[in-house]
Amino acid sequence: MKFITRLLAATALAGLATASTAADVTMKFGHVGAPGSLFEATANNFAECVGADSGGRIEVQTFGSSQLGDDKELLQKLKLGQVDFSLPSSIMSSVDDMFGIFEMPYIITDRDHMRRVQDAMMDKFQAAAQENGYHIVGLAENGFRHITNNTRPINVPSDLEGIKLRTPNGVWRLEMFKAYGANPTPMAFSDVFTALQTGVIDGQENPYAQIASAKFQEVQKYLSITGHVYTPAYITASSKAFEAMSDEDKAVLTGCAAKTQDFTYETAAQMENDLLDEIKAAGVEVNEADKAAFIEASAAIYKAFSEQVEGGQEMIDQVLGLGKSG
């Protein structure tokens, strides 16, 4: 909790510093992260950097907790020019099939692996985003996802049988949990706490940073450490709006996104240690899942991706190959 308190204080100061600048341009950054979340820290760090590196010409105002809409609404608002940046994660697999590669269970092993994938394949992801009207300014992360629920500890996939589990709105996450035996239910992140509290759903899956900042530990009995998916987050703008910017402003935004990625990775690693302790302290029963059993149960999802997505098998092979590098 001390780490979150320090983080909140730092991001609040960053916001004050940005707000005090007399900017020529004001831009809105909407995201779904709650106070104390990694998303909030990411957006605020990016805003502070843009204010500083633009010499105060550009002010980025951040709006968390779905104030400006959920992920789907924010993507729509980018195209309408109603927001300037958003921070989508899993939902990008519904924008273009290519982003579904990150929905493959256990395909990303760690952040160094993700950097190698970024270095080797970012041009492909950027092209896919731009074909759909978006520009990826830079990458951040949502993190490694784990399962919480109120029914039983999850050790192997069959333990998910019949559990009503909230997932983001993405075809591959739904297919994954159907294959594992769960009853996956897509739902906006802002609705999850109440749904858990009232028993509309039994559980959900998210990184520790999202679990703790949304206070899911207050309404969940079990946390099973599965690490089943690593989800990047994308600092995203409208491709039309980004292309209309000056080269100088593009450089500021791109440079700050790269700096923010470093900050996000460092912050996320620290959160993984601190927040697991916080979740345990709330009385949640924690167990290590049998990851080998989950990997074995995931073969059908890889097969479906390779058959249904153009170039899917090539992408799988490339990402897995990059995991063996370095």
Q: Minimal CA–CA distance to 83: which of 56, 53, 61? A: 61
Residue position matching structure tokens 């709330």: 282
φ/ψ (deg, to 5) at 195: -65, -40
Q: Along the 326 residues of the chain, how does pLDDT read in single tens digits?
A: 444 444 544 454 444 444 444 699 999 999 999 999 999 999 999 999 999 999 999 999 999 999 999 999 999 999 999 999 999 999 999 999 999 999 999 999 999 999 999 999 999 999 999 999 999 999 999 999 999 999 999 999 999 999 999 999 888 999 999 999 999 999 999 999 999 999 999 999 999 999 999 999 999 999 999 999 999 999 999 999 999 999 999 999 999 999 999 999 999 999 988 999 999 999 999 999 999 999 999 999 999 999 999 999 999 999 999 998 65
Neighbours of 162 (CB within 10 A): 10
- CA dihedral (160, 162, 164, 170) in degrees, to 10, reads 70
Please say whether the dihedral angle defined by the alpha carbons of residues 299, 305, 306 and 311, taken in this order, is positive or negative.
negative
- What is the pLDDT at residue 2? 46
- What is the pLDDT at residue 169? 84
**Hey, what domains does the chain have and what are their CATH numbers?**
2-142+233-278 (3.40.190.170), 146-228+281-323 (3.40.190.170)
Rounded to two decimals, the pTM is: 0.91
CA atoms of 193 and 82, how far apart (whole Å): 27
- What is the pLDDT at residue 61? 98
Residue 325: Cβ-neighbour burial (10 angstroms; 0-12, 13-18, 19+): exposed
- What is the pLDDT at residue 7? 53
User: CA 322: distance to chain centroid?
Assistant: 21
CA atoms of 46 and 62, how far apart (whole Å): 9
CA atoms of 209 and 141, how far apart (whole Å): 11
- What is the pLDDT at residue 324? 81
Strands (E), the chain: 25-30, 58-63, 85-86, 134-144, 146-149, 164-167, 183-186, 203-206, 222-225, 230-238, 285-288
Tokens of 204: 């959900």
Kindly give the pairing relationship between strand 25-30 and strand 203-206: unpaired
CA atoms of 10 and 13, how far apart (whole Å): 5
Residue 33's SS3 state is coil
Tokens of 110: 């760690």
CA atoms of 193 and 242, how far apart (whole Å): 35
